[in-house]
Structure 1
């Protein structure tokens, strides 16, 4: 869709598993892929789930799809390392996919502090400890991150990790964060959630789910503890995992962490339903049409600068210099257009204009 001179990009709702060739040609998961109803479920972990598609394409409409034997359920469990993904698009198939962050995949943010952009380019963004930075800012969504870190004596900059995400959309605020942990135990959940300022409690257990009152925000556990998949309907998704810094990592990298803190932090992989051509932020800018990464390709640690323009005053603030959130958004009724290298065509499902890089 071209809106007020802006091109709406429609990357996948969940990028994990999309190969580089697909992404380079504007590929992703068709919105029709999730148009199905479940026909068979069972508490038996080995019984394959079955869904009936109602996507509006002749190849898959009303067809029954059965999950693979290797991943019979749509949620991860101790019986299967990947989850069943039901795709009712023209592919009309079921496949096995991980639902935890793929730190080498598109839109990933992991470790100390490494990104893979929407353009597939890997870069590091250090920011500063105990400050907040804008990751994505667009007309309908704004995502900030709170950084934690340490600076050993003699180092010119902080080692940094993301401790929390603050997501604003419509009139709502949602956060996911890692607790401060002195001693890590893999069996103990160390995640915290809030929705509009109220703490959200998600039961322990793979497949446990919390839904917002309007069912437009869903948080599903994809392991017993410390890993979830977040969906904000029509806007974005995120696979989020809490991990600690191990003693071996501390020794190898000379982080010099304190004895009472393992610096539990978030590894995240984002997916976006639609982003405008003016999207910005540390990660968001990499989704702009014709974006050219300023980082030095081929060096061991390509650095993305710009801390000053991405800094915000708090986890839910929108006062960064690149803020795009809540700006006027006017739609134009167009049937077909081309803007630069971005091709736009009419969509049969929504009646709008679909534009891909």
Structure 2
């Protein structure tokens, strides 16, 4: 009888021990699954997840060792002789070697300046080519600001300058500045106002969280910093003056060029611009990463899955509206009717350069 009394407590303790062990194992397994599903760090974009090796000794062709998961994992990619360097230093006008460690697993030669007919471009007065490849115009008004891209982790505004000739009912407009907002930071890229254009003079202005920064012209010719979240930000010159590539790791890469309205262009289009203002403005091309399905903005919405452009095909200047939907009160405001970005904290507001 005494043995039976002892048996039941021991059995219960044994069952309890087994139950706790199984629960702990399950929890460990779930935590392991959750770990694999965690968001990738900002610098883990597959395209750029590589380390540079020593270049080939005879040809000086650069090599990249890929860390990205997938078929390119632990593969070494070598730049071709046509573009042996990622950042051509002797002649920045040459094509650069573009390393892609994603599923494409390839190296290609690319111009390192904006292509105004390429996907994600914004040039001229202003003319977009969307993520869907459809070209359209957006007019806006001089002195105003509009959200061209808004996602949960990135927001980009454009500031317009312009003029209204006599007899016209609307302004001619061009993009003079961009404000790239992410986390609690703002990177501003702008064209300085210049009376007379000189190809040898730099008319590019860069500000980081309200403070002017100088992009070096020697060495690697780049300015870089790291945000509080560990996201690397680089502004690199891709020509001696007025042309840069902006990279915000894991979010966006932007090719930017400052250019004027020339005398012949002014005459042909009858802009009637004043003689003391070159109307320096930006030509840009964007490459985005990690987009959500809710992405919005004049350009951003064209990257939505299933998006159908309202731009009329076959007309000379297919217009797309949205001035009321994407108007923002300043270059540094992420708030519009359809904007979805919000800052974790405030950022300094300054006047456009």
Superposed pair shares fold, TM > 0.5: yes
Q: Cα–Cα, structure 1 residues 206 and 223, in superposed 2: closer, same or farther, change >3 Å?
A: farther
1:243 to 237, 241, 259: 259
CA contact (8 A) 1:161 1:265 kept: yes
Note the 1:50-199 alignment, pairs <5 A.
50-58=63-71, 60-76=72-88, 77-78=90-91, 81-199=94-212
CA contact (8 A) 2:93 2:238 kept: no
Q: Distance in 1 between matches of 2:126 and 2:165?
A: 16
SS at the partner of 2:235? Answer: strand
Q: Distance in 2 between matches of 1:79 and 1:150?
A: 34
CA contact (8 A) 1:106 1:269 kept: yes
Shift of 1:43: 12
Q: Distance in 1 between matches of 2:164 and 2:133?
A: 29
CA contact (8 A) 2:92 2:239 kept: no
What is the CA deviation profile of residues 285-329 of structure 1, one whole-angstrom value per residue up to 9, with x for unaligned ones? 11222222112111010001121221111101123211211299x
Q: Distance in 2 between matches of 1:207 and 1:79?
A: 11
CA contact (8 A) 1:205 1:225 kept: no
Q: Structure 1 residues 208-217 or 172-181, which shifts more?
A: 208-217
CA contact (8 A) 1:107 1:118 kept: yes
Q: Cα–Cα, structure 1 residues 31 and 168, in superposed 2: closer, same or farther, change >3 Å?
A: closer
Q: Cα–Cα, structure 1 residues 145 and 292, in superposed 2: closer, same or farther, change >3 Å?
A: same
Shift of 1:98: 1.1
CA contact (8 A) 2:49 2:67 kept: yes
Pair 1:224-2:240 in alignment: yes
Equivalent pairs, count: 298
1:37 to 32, 35, 51: 51
Q: Counterpart in 1 of 2:22?
A: none
Q: Counterpart in 1 of 2:301?
A: 285
Q: Cα–Cα, structure 1 residues 71 and 135, in superposed 2: closer, same or farther, change >3 Å?
A: same
CA contact (8 A) 1:32 1:88 kept: yes
If asked which structure has higher relative contact order (CA below 8 Å, sep 6+), I would say: 1
Note the 1:284-303 alignment, pairs <5 A.
284-303=300-319
Shift of 1:80: 5.8
Q: Distance in 1 between matches of 2:257 and 2:170?
A: 26
Q: Counterpart in 2 of 1:25?
A: none
Which structure 1 segments of 5+ residues have no match? 1-12, 14-29, 329-357
Q: Cα–Cα, structure 1 residues 48 and 193, in superposed 2: closer, same or farther, change >3 Å?
A: same
Structure number with greater Rg is 2
Q: Counterpart in 1 of 2:7?
A: none
Shift of 1:71: 1.0
Shift of 1:68: 1.2
Q: CA RMSD in A?
A: 2.4
Pair 1:209-2:225 in alignment: no
Structure number with higher helix proportion: 2
Shift of 1:37: 1.5
SS at the partner of 2:53? Answer: strand
CA contact (8 A) 2:145 2:158 kept: yes
Q: Cα–Cα, structure 1 residues 205 and 248, in superposed 2: closer, same or farther, change >3 Å?
A: farther
